[in-house]
């Protein structure tokens, strides 16, 4: 493994490490929250105490996971100020808004109702307690919404304009930021993937009880809810996955090319089911892209996913760097060199603008502003040194994407088989499926982490897509200080993870009996 040496590399590594640890806790919170709420709803509706026992058991696991998730999430927000201060200065007025709303609205909503949810079983009415449970889960989901809106804006910076007077981006349309197609699709895709993970977790833990010949009624009730919820979520996830591919193709073509290991563009491009990359391939040589390729047997599927047209041209890595191909709007794609030239012109116009403002030269100021506005779309390219710097880590993104897709297909098949056996009342007799269910839990986490790798590593080198590259976004601090905090956070998060797993394991071993009052 190449040794990390630069400030940017270590800052990226620290944020990636803390984010990946945080994402171990968030999806289970979102997925488990809905399932336990459904169970409590059934208890209130039917009066069946078994549903209450089930709801309280999963609620306990929810609470343990929720607490650690909050602790890990706080550190992530601080890193924007410590490690990415230039980024925070440049777009803080925009990026900070959804995070502030998340803290003021969603976090306080969760904090208000979670205490009632845990301690109000005998203190409030059934319906009020049920409302508190749903509001806690809703608060957690709204919290995810605002964080994902902020992340989506980094991928597609809509609803904003650059103010050369302050050298900052400013929000001009809040609703365009909130309801951008990228933000909405990212929100639904991410939250629904968390529902899939929560369903798999419930089925896996319930299957463990069946394997141990304990709490069969509780386990089968839980599996019944989770299989239906998981299957529906998986099917919807296919739809949002198509939406993700479409938005990536429209706004981040390099990410799509890397996801498919596509160096040279193709019309009527096929989607790979799986492949093995040629490690010797680069964008400037003529070697084959893949040593092994297994396409999905649907001609033009990648073209359709990206452009809703089976015959559409999908640009490859070399095409994007060299330009010259026709875009969907009929214009001709610019080469990296041309974008870089215009980006440097934009940076120079900004410098001229500030000098003219200082000198009080109104005419020169207006000329510089016009030049900046004309070239601002390529502003970020002025900080990129060479064409290769625009290429993300191809193997990491490529394999992560295909692992995610393969596991997604597996989850659908898993839910189908489990659901059929539950419907036929045979699940409790199929021990191989129960064992498989337990081992499917870590696969769900792998799929979620792979998805974030595709989303974030795939947009390298941009902190904000085509506006601000990472090397211009990082704080001016010593590499050694980032290295030190990297290992401190690594140790802290590992301790938290081990502690949570230990507490979860003990609580699971106790079973729902411990929750009966």
Could you report the per-residue pLDDT of 51-80, keeping only the tens digit for each?
Answer: 999 999 999 999 999 888 888 887 888 888
Give the rounded distance of the alpha carbon of 171 from its chain centre. Answer: 23
Would you say residue 2 has pLDDT above 50? Answer: no
287-298 per-position pLDDT tens digit: 888 888 888 888
Q: What is the largest CA-CA distance in the chain?
A: 84
What pLDDT band is residue 513 in, cutting at 50, 70 and 90?
low
Least confident range from 106-115, 338-347, 413-422: namely 106-115
Is the bond leading into 59 cis (omega within 30 degrees of zero)? no
Q: Which of 66, 77, 54 is nearest to 24 (CA)?
A: 66
Q: What is the mean pLDDT of the chain?
A: 91
User: According to the 3-state scheme, what is the secondary structure of 251-285?
Assistant: HCHHHHHHHCCCCCCEECCCCEEEEEECCCCCCCC
- Give helix 49-82 / helix 479-510 axis angle, nearest 10°: 180
Query: The tokens 């809810």 sit on which residue?
Result: 225
Distance in angstroms (rounded) separating the CA atoms of residues 357 and 370: 14
Q: Is the pLDDT of residue 515 over 70?
A: no
Give residue-wise pLDDT tens across range 366-404.
999 999 999 999 999 999 999 999 999 999 999 999 999
Q: Is 462 helix (H, G, I), strand (E, B) or coil?
A: strand
Contacts of 37 (CB under 8 A, 6+ apart): 55, 130, 133, 134, 137
What angle, rounded to 10 degrees, do the helices at 362-375 and 336-359 form?
Answer: 160
- Distances in Å between the Cα of 15 and the Cα atoms of 64, 81, 84, 92, 462 are 24, 12, 10, 18, 14
- Flag whether pLDDT at 257 surpasses 90: yes
For residues 412 and 392, give the distance between their C-alpha atoms in angstroms, rounded to a whole number. 30
Distance separating alpha carbons of residues 107 and 104, to the nearest angstrom: 6
Q: Give 424: exposed, middle or buried? Use CB within 10 Å, 0-12, 13-18, 19+.
A: exposed
**What pTM, to 2 d.p., does this model score?**
0.93
The string of pLDDT tens digits covering residues 136-147 is 999 999 999 999
Calculate mean pLDDT across residues 205-219.
Answer: 94
Q: Which tokens go with 192?
A: 């629904």
Question: Using CA atoms, how far apart are residues 49 and 262, in angstroms rounded to an integer?
Answer: 56
- pLDDT value at residue 286: 82
- Helix, strand, coil percentages for the chain (3-state, nearest 5): 75, 5, 20
pLDDT at 83 over 60: yes
């Amino acid at each position: 493994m190449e040794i990390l040496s630069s400030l940017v590399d270590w800052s990226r590594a620290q944020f990636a490490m803390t984010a990946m640890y945080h994402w171990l806790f968030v999806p289970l919170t979102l997925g488990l929250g809905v399932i336990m709420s459904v169970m409590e709803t059934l208890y209130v509706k039917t009066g069946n105490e078994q549903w209450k026992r089930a709801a309280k058991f999963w609620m306990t696991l929810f609470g343990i996971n929720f607490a650690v998730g909050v602790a890990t999430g706080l550190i992530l927000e601080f890193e924007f100020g410590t490690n990415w201060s230039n980024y925070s200065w440049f777009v803080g007025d925009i990026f900070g808004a959804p995070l502030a709303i998340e803290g003021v609205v969603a976090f306080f909503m969760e904090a208000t109702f979670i205490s009632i949810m845990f301690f109000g079983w005998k203190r409030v009415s059934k319906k009020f307690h049920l409302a508190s449970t749903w509001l806690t889960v809703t608060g957690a989901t709204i919290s995810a919404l605002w964080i994902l809106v902020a992340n989506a804006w980094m991928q597609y910076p809509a609803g904003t304009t650059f103010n050369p007077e302050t050298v900052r981006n400013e929000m001009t349309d809040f609703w365009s930021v909130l309801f951008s197609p990228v933000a909405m699709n990212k929100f639904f895709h991410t939250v629904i993937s968390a529902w899939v993970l929560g369903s798999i977790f419930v089925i896996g833990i319930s299957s463990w009880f069946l394997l141990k010949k304990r709490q069969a009624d509780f386990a089968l009730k839980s599996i019944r809810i989770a299989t239906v919820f998981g299957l529906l979520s998986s099917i919807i996830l296919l739809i949002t996955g198509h939406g993700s591919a479409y938005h990536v193709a429209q706004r981040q073509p390099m990410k799509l090319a890397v996801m498919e290991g596509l160096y040279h563009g193709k019309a009527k491009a096929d989607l790979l089911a799986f492949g093995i990359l040629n490690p010797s391939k680069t964008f400037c040589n003529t070697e084959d892209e893949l040593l092994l390729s297994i396409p999905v047997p649907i001609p033009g599927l990648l073209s359709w996913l990206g452009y809703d047209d089976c015959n559409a041209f999908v640009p490859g890595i070399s095409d994007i760097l060299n330009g010259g191909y026709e875009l969907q709007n009929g214009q001709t794609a610019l080469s990296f060199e041309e974008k870089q030239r215009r980006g440097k012109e934009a940076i120079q116009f900004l410098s001229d603008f500030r000098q003219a403002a200082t000198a009080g030269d109104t005419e020169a100021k207006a000329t510089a502003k016009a030049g900046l506005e004309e070239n601002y779309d390529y502003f970020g390219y002025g900080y990129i040194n060479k064409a290769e710097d625009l290429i993300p880590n191809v193997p990491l993104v490529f394999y992560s994407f295909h692992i995610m897709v393969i596991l997604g297909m597996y989850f659908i098949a898993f839910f189908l088989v489990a659901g059929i056996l539950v419907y036929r009342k045979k699940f409790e007799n199929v021990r191989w499926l129960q064992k498989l269910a337990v081992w499917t839990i870590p696969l769900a986490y792998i799929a979620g982490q792979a998805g974030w790798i595709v989303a974030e590593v795939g947009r390298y080198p941009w902190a904000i897509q085509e506006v601000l590259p990472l090397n211009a976004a990082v704080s001016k601090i010593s590499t050694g200080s980032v290295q030190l905090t990297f290992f401190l956070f690594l140790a802290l998060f590992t301790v938290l993870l081990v502690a949570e797993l230990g507490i979860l394991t003990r609580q699971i071993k106790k079973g729902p009996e411990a929750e009966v009052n």
